[in-house]
Every structure is written in C-alpha cells, then in structure tokens.
A and B are shown apart, each in its own frame.
Chain A
Amino acid sequence: MTTADLLGKILQVVMGLVVFAAIVGLLIFFIDKAPKKGRDYWQLVGFLAPALILVSVGLIYPAIRTSILAFQTNAGDFTFDNFVWAFTQPAAIRTLINTVIWVLLVPTFATAVGLAYAVFIDRSRGEKFYKAILFMPIAISFVGASVIWKFVYEYRSGDREQIGLLNAIVVAFGGEPVQWLQTDPINTILLIVVMIWVQTGFAMVVLSAAIKGIATEQLEAAQLDGTNGWQRFTNVIVPGIRGSLVVVLTTISIATLKVFDIVRTMTAGNFNTSIVANEMYTQAFRASEIGRGSALALILFVMVLPIVIYNVNVLRKQREIR
C-alpha cells in the first residue's frame, strides 16, 4: 500500500462519517418538524429505529440463522445429527462437562475470594494499594494472562532446568516435574485458576463498593447487640450486599460460559480441556462442520438463558422492594 492509497482510505472513512452525521442530523431535523399531532410517536420511532435495525441485523438475524444451521447437514438437509453428535461423542460430552465445571467453579471462587478480600481490606491502611494489586489482572487481556500462566505451568523433563514456576517449586522440594497442562483432569482446574485470577479483581471492586454502602449505624447497632465479627458478616454485610453479589455472580458466570481465549491459547482444547465456546469455533471454522458449531452455539445459548432470567428476576424484585 502506498501513502496515496492510505490517505485515500482515510479520506473515505472521514467522508463516510460526515455523510452518516449529515443523515442523522437531517432525520432529527425532520422529526423535530413533524406535525404536532403524533410528534411523540415519530420521535420514538426516529430514536429507536437505528438501534432496532442494528440489533436485528447484528443479533437477531444471526441468532435465527444459527438456529437453522444447527439443524442442517453441510449439504443443507434437515437433521438432528449435530445434536446427537454433541450429546453422544465422548469428546463432545467431555466439552459439555468441562463447561459445567468451569461455570460452577469460576464464579464461586472468584466471588468468594473477592468478597473475603474486600472485607479484610475494608477501611485498612493502604486499602487503595491492595485494591490496585488485585484489580490489575483485569487490565490484562485473556490471551496475555494465558501466556503468563503458560510459563507458570511450563514443563521441562527430568534433569533439564525448570523454567516454569510451579515445576521449579516442585523440583526444589525434591519432587518430579509434572506436565501440568497435559495431565487430565488437573489441567482443566489449572485453566480455571487463570480465569479466577482475572475475574477476582472485578468481584472485589464491586463488592467493596457495596460494603461501603452499608450504613455504619447498622454495623454499630449489631456490635452493641454483642455480635462477633462472623455474625456481623453473615447477618448484616451479606444481606446488605445481596444485590451486588447476584450481579457479580451472574456476570462472571456469563463471562465464563463465553470464555474461549484461555483454552485456545493454553491447550487449544487438547488433552480433554476443551469447552463449548472453543469447540464451537474449532468445529465451525477449522473442521468446517458448520452444523456442529451452530448446535454448540445453541446449547451455549440455552445454558446462559437461566442465568440471565435469574438475574433479571432478582433485579426486578429489588426494584419492587425499593
């Protein structure tokens, strides 16, 4: 590409943006000038339409198409084979089981550790510093985090020098180095650790903010009633932050169901570590079994659904109480 080409392309982008702004401005101008009768209606349509169009093109249409593809063979005939494959193939079943393990362990541990950390550092000296330390992994991309942890788990056989932290420790204590990422089922747990490492900071920050929202009077009253620290935690703090807890748990659950980068970067789904999101990509694009990939996408969607519904319900109930 030459500079002239590049400048030409930049000019195209700028022109596109200008044209877009002009059309939007013109639309708003006309909506504003709409007849008084029904102006509210026109304004509603004018402002909602762009978002609705984008959502249907970018979300609803692909969702429908994926659902159809999930019931098709590569040749386009109707079939249930893709789902039969997903629930009978040992490798595919293992993928589903792994996903369930992920979604059980990651939110639980990330939230529990985040909550404990938030409670312990609450109002301590250097709170900001402690928070910053735990929050930092969030700034790292999943791929970056995976590369870091891959080094931690690195394996060198027997008498060679260990460059992986974990094996270096094992060898220092006189043990034999372990092929962490190749040993089933510990490898799945070790991948989950990476996700927990990334997500704990998020849980901690949200929960810490929620804890600060609990009225000091409440805690003092509990203290006057002769409660100990644990009783105050279970009877005052936890009920006080229930809403935030649910948000944190569900957000991390959904993020976990979608996680793809960690598995792909660290083991590429080998050694029985694959999970649905990774297998979906592998099947659809590498194995060119679009139907199988779509079926997995649909299964993933069904798995996320209860969490989303639960989340919406809790939030609605909370609003009713207020």
Chain B
Amino acid sequence: MRLRGHRRLTASLVAAAAIGLTLTACTGDIADEGSADADCSDYETYGTFDGAEVTVAGTILDLEADRLNESWADFEQCTGISVEYQGSSEFEAQIAVLAEGGNAPDVGIVPQPGLLARLAEGGWLIPASQPVEDNVDEFWSEDWKNYGTYDGTFYAAPLMASIKGYVWYSPAEFEEKGYEIPKTLDELTTLSETIAADGDHKPWCVGLESGEATGWPGTDWVEDYMLRLNGADAYDQWVTHEIPFNDPQVAAAFDAVGGYLKNEDMVNGGIGDVSTQVTEAFQTAGLPILDGECSLHHQASFYETFWNPDGGDDVKVASDGDVFGFLLPPANADDPLSVTGGGEFPVAFRDAEEVEAFRAYLSSDLWANNRVSLGGVISANKGVDPENASSELLTQSIEILQDPETTFRFDGSDLMPGAVGADSFWKGIVSWVGGESTEQVLDTIESTWPSS
C-alpha cells in the first residue's frame, strides 16, 4: 500500500515535470533572453523602473507584431519596464467593452480617431502627459495632433502612418506603350480610356472583399476623390456631418469613382466583370498587373507587402522595377498635394509613470526611427530620416508626409461614427457597385447617421 502510494507520487511528479517542460517550449523564455545589450544612453530620459509592467493591445498581428515587440526591446532592457503586447483582430470591437468593465489594457493602440473619440467620451482615457505632448508639438503637424485630441484635451500621439490613394502600375508596361503618369484626374481618365481602347485588357483591377469589412477599399476611392474634387474644407464638413452624406459634393465624388468602378469597360481586369469586385479579396486584387491582365490598381502604401505574398523579393517594387505606385493626381495640375491616409494612436487606460514613460518613448523620433528601420511601415514623425525606410516607395511616402505643403486628411470612414464609417458606408459601396444608384445609396447611408 505504502509502496503503491509512493509510486503514484513519483508518477505524478514525472507528469508535472513533463508538462512543465512542454510549457517552457510554448512560452517566450528563449526570446526574452535573446536581446543583446543595448546602448542605454538614449533611454536615460525615461528613467528606470523596478519590475514595472505595461500591457499593450491592438490590431497589429503576426510579423508586424513581432517588429513592434522588437522596436521596444531596448527600451524594456534599459528602463526595466516590461511591455506585454497582445494583438487581436477583434480589438476594435472589444476595447470599449473591456474599458467599461475595467479590464482594459494599460495602452490600447487605436487605429481610428473615431474610436479614440468614443473612448474619450466614455471617460476611460488618461490624457497624455507633458513629455508626450512636447514630442507631438515638436515632431508632428497640427493636423495629426488634432486626430489625437478630443474636446480640447490631448489624449494620444500618433504612432505609425500609411498613405492611401496610391495607384499601382507596371513601369515596364508604361515605358513600352508610352503611357505617361497622369498629372490630373482628367489625364487619369484619358489614360484609362487609352488602355481600354488598346484592347487586350481592361485598365483597372479592383478587389473590395475583406471579410466582414468588405467594401472599405471602395470607401478609400471615394475619400480620395472627395478630398481632391471638393477640397479639405468640404472633406472636414463631410466627416463631421456638417454637410449631409447625400450632399451634391459627395455625389460628385461617388459619380467620379463610379466612372471606373461601375464601368464595364474599366474593370475588372484579369478577374471578371464588374460584379467580381465584391468577391475579389483586396489582398490579391492587384496581382493581375504582374500578368499584364490589367494596368492600374488603387490601394494604400501598405500594398507593397502584398506583391510578394509568400515573402521574398521575386517582384521588385521600384520606379524601374516590376511594379510601382504614383499618387492619385489632383483635380487640377496646380492644386496643392492632398493625400488621405491612416495611422494609429496609443491611448492609455491606466494612470502610471511607467505607462507615460512608454508613451513618451512611442511618441519620440527615437522610436519612430527604430520602427521604420525594421521595415514595412512609415511614420509621419518629422524626426524620421526618410533614408531609414525599407523601400523607395516608403521613403517617398515619408517625404510626402513630412512636407509642410502637403494637405493630409485622415481616412474619412475612420473619422465618422462607427454606424456609418464601419458599417453603412462599407455596405453602401457593396450595393452601389452591385447596381444601386448613387442617389439611393447616399440616402440610405445618410439615414444611418446616428442622431446623437
């Protein structure tokens, strides 16, 4: 009896040890030990902490999340603050619920100013500390600071950025056929008609499918045209509902886009007819350019990574390479450069020194340069050296963002209330491409604008 009991104990100990070893393999012990000694002199301003931890959550996943973790590894080592990042594709839907329940992470990386405003309205956000605000005043434009501000209080500095409204094309094809990069929207129309008339393929390839967010690539088109045709003031009035969604100016932007998206002769190169836009995933939609089945594809700067979906560098993205992008031109050749884009804002839910130290680091040029050097993204931080960007296109994008002459406007649907910007606007694009009239779609979207 006694012996048996002893044996049982041994067995369970062995089992526990085995489980423990297996768990070790799953956890990040090895990764934690891997970081080399960093030069800590840059990090002295943030102070040192003993055993402090900051939890961070956001929508950034996979490779991008790894790079994010890498971007603050030295900060962790030098300050003693351990940063725990958790990415989730449901972050935007869950964050308000978590905040209300008191379970929010210390820092949430919010990708929409509209969501930031909603969280601030709920009273859950900690205003940014002075060092963060000083960094923003030094490194960002007034426009960007405004997107992190709600009701006169400044809550968060911008993090990364992307430029929307690039038109991807094949430089080789352009050279061979003598196409010129258009300088006005009219020239773009002429170019598209020329390509269509040349006969062997339709000019544009378009994909609007993105799971439950299907339709958003179409909203980007409309926003780009809204800003270029009607100017920044009308754009601001549109996103804040000072003019209704079915205003004639908005209708004009829709109809201009409709000249491409609803036109059988313009889309959908290499994929099918007009209706295939809603089933073609936005990630793969531009790829027919490589097979010469279409010539133009409208998508943000981040589309650069999709040209080589399996990694590697088979497809060369450069002005003399296989594909490259030009910005959607202005309405008139002498109009100032106007671009739409996106970005993230790290908001704080916990009032603590280590959280603010971390946020101050994220708002600094030091972090921005660290992150941009790791590749794939850009920042509108003026302290970023464009040469640190991982590609010609991203270098050019940073220069555009840093240029004081550039009129920058945040992605309109991200600024609108969720009921429109994350629901009826997307759905409206789908039914509009499916054949509904502009008037009908705009009236429907207008009627979903929340009354309060």
Contacts and interface: CB of A to CB of B under 8 A. Distances in A.
Interface in A261-312: 264, 268-271, 281-283, 285-289, 292
Interface stretch (A70-78, A135-143, A251-259): A70-78
A287 B32 contact: no
Nearest to A90: B444
A38 interface: no
A288 B417 contact: yes
A268 B29 contact: no
Contact of A157 (B118, B271, B423): B271
Interface in B14-50: 20, 23-24, 27-29, 32
Nearest to A81: B451
Interface in B254-306: 271-273, 275-276, 278-279
A3 B28 CA distance: 8
Contacts of B23: 3, 6-7
| Residue from B24, B213, B215, B418 with most neighbouring chain A CB atoms (10 Å) | B418
Given A81-B451, A89-B447, A270-B430, A287 B272 contact: no
Interface stretch (B92-100, B130-138, B163-171, B229-237): B92-100
B422 A2 contact: no
B32 A286 contact: no
A287 B422 contact: yes
Nearest to A264: B212
Contacts of A288: 96, 115, 118, 417-419
A179 interface: yes
Q: How big is chain A's contact interface, by range?
A: 35 or more
B214 interface: yes
Given A3-B20, A74-B452, A286-B93, A182 B279 contact: yes
B244 to A, nearest CB: 17
A74 B450 CA distance: 9
B312 interface: no
Nearest to B24: A3
A301 to B, nearest CB: 20
Nearest to B451: A81
B419 A289 contact: yes
A126 interface: no
Nearest to A74: B452
B332 interface: no
Contacts of A264: 212
Interface string B398-427: 000000000000000000011100111001
Interface in B88-120: 92-94, 96-97, 115, 118
Contacts of B444: 90-91
B59 to A, nearest CB: 13
A64 interface: no
A1 B28 contact: yes
B152 interface: no
Contacts of A155: 279
B430 A282 contact: no
Contacts of B434: 182, 271
Given A3-B27, A91-B427, 11 more contacts: A1-B27, A1-B84, A3-B29, A5-B27, A6-B27, A179-B276, A182-B275, A264-B212, A282-B212, A285-B97, A287-B417
Closest 10 CB pairs of A and B: A157-B272, A268-B212, A285-B93, A288-B418, A287-B419, A73-B452, A287-B418, A287-B423, A3-B24, A289-B419
